[in-house]
Amino acid sequence: MKMKKLNKILPALILTSISTVAMANSKVEKREVPTPVGISSELANIIENRVMPPHVPVPKNTQAWLEAQVIADQPAIETAKEVVERLNISYEAKQYAGVDTFFVTPETIAPEYANKWLIHIHGGAFVLGGGEAALREASWVADGIGAKVISIDYSKPPLHPYPAAIDDVVAVWKALTKTQSAESTAIFGTSAGGNITLATALKLQELGLPTPGALFVGTPAVDLKETSDSWHTLKGLDPLGEREGALSAAFELYAGGEKLDNPLISPVYADIKTFPPTIFISGTRDLLLSDTVRMHRKLRAADVDTQLHVYDGQAHADYMIGSVTEMPESEDALKEIGLFFNKYIN
């Protein structure tokens, strides 16, 4: 069937018939988008009061990156400390397998997690979110499912580009799996943390080491080379902002001269035959929705046990809002993570 004819009949199936307006590039017109109808009042309130970040200049050199890290991480560290207090989390900063970590303990430990630790890899575009900022997601999951968590304060650019972060996680993994079985352990992370979670699983396979029983991969950056579609289609709807500029520069800085389509840097380019069961979470306004579903399909193509959960109206990592304030969708996400882990590691 000829393309021209094909494209005439496709929309016709839905409602009507013939048109002549070609759209080589799809056109998005200027408009205002109302608050989503299908979300909780808590999330609606946040979206309606949301602020879009200002344009961030790209730091010009190592010193400027280091200074930007300190400035950007400061409010995230404050928030994480509030989360720790709000959820009555106990934590201890310590070196483990030669790596900086936080050992995070929730107020109540569920029986199935009494004798194990999960591993958390924080987000922050590969360059941010370190130090105590990492405690936010670690605490949210630890409290939400009642598990003890080792949150890894992995080595970061500008001083430590790829593969330093993955090496740190692998070191912790090797040490931890001396005392608990790999198949009863999960690794989890969001955004850059989701990327490093996936990359670590690939690296463990490469090394011939046992892999985790399950992964939770939240809205991961899986393609640092190409700009996935939702970066374009959802622009303006997600306070993550834009990929051009500081974010792209952070990706380059992380790669440290390595090719961006190296599967350990962009896991969507991996040749996957087997992989740990993985639960993905994203949102319909998430700039990384395309990255998320592309990776989901990549795993499904290899018949990996997966789950995909997409929350209506949510931007990048919004499911984690529940760490700082009550939100039903956050409770729901924790329920899904908990059920998935129960199925595969408990």
Q: 264: which 2 tokens?
A: 């350990």
Least distance (Å) from its own copies to the CB of residue 171? 26
Least distance (Å) from its own copies to the CB of residue 5? 9
Task: Report the 3 state secondary structure along 88-114.
Answer: CCEEEEEEECCEEEEEEECCCCCHHHC
Q: 325: which 2 tokens?
A: 């304030």
143 to 182, contacts with its own copies by CB under 8 A?
none
Contact stretch for its own copies (CB under 8 A) within 142-150, 165-173, 270-278, 311-319? 311-319
Binding pattern to its own copies, positions 65-84, x when CB under 8 A? ------xx-xxx-xx--x--
CA 95, 78, 98 angle in degrees (round to 5)?
Answer: 10
Nearer to its own copies, 172 or 268 (CB): 268
Sort strands 90-96 and 117-121 into parallel, antiparallel or unpaired: unpaired
Residue 223 interacts with its own copies (CB under 8 A)?
yes
Q: How far apart are the first and last CA of the chain?
A: 52
Instruction: Find the length of the chain.
Output: 346
Least distance (Å) from its own copies to the CB of residue 147? 21
Which helix H or strand E contains 278, and what residues bound it? strand 278-283
Q: What is the largest CA-CA distance in the chain?
A: 66
240 to 269, contacts with its own copies by CB under 8 A?
240-241, 246-247, 250, 268
Partners of residue 59 on adjacent β-strands: none
Contact stretch for its own copies (CB under 8 A) within 90-98, 109-117, 141-149, 231-239? 231-239
Least distance (Å) from its own copies to the CB of residue 169? 20
Least distance (Å) from its own copies to the CB of residue 154? 16
Residue 210 interacts with its own copies (CB under 8 A)?
no
**From the list 87, 89, 99, 128, which residue makes contact with its own copies (rule: CB under 8 A)?**
128
Least distance (Å) from its own copies to the CB of residue 83? 10
14 to 53, contacts with its own copies by CB under 8 A?
14-38, 45-53
Helix (H, G, I), strand (E, B) or coil at 63: helix
Q: 178: which 2 tokens?
A: 């001396």
- With contact defined as beta carbons under 8 Å apart, do 284 and 345 qualify? no
**From the list 309, 340, 344, 345, which residue makes contact with its own copies (rule: CB under 8 A)?**
309
**From the list 87, 172, 201, 321, which residue makes contact with its own copies (rule: CB under 8 A)?**
321
Query: Which DSSP symbol is given to 264?
Result: T
> What CA–CA distance (Å, rounded) separates 198 from 203?
9
- Total number of residues binding its own copies (CB under 8 A)? 107
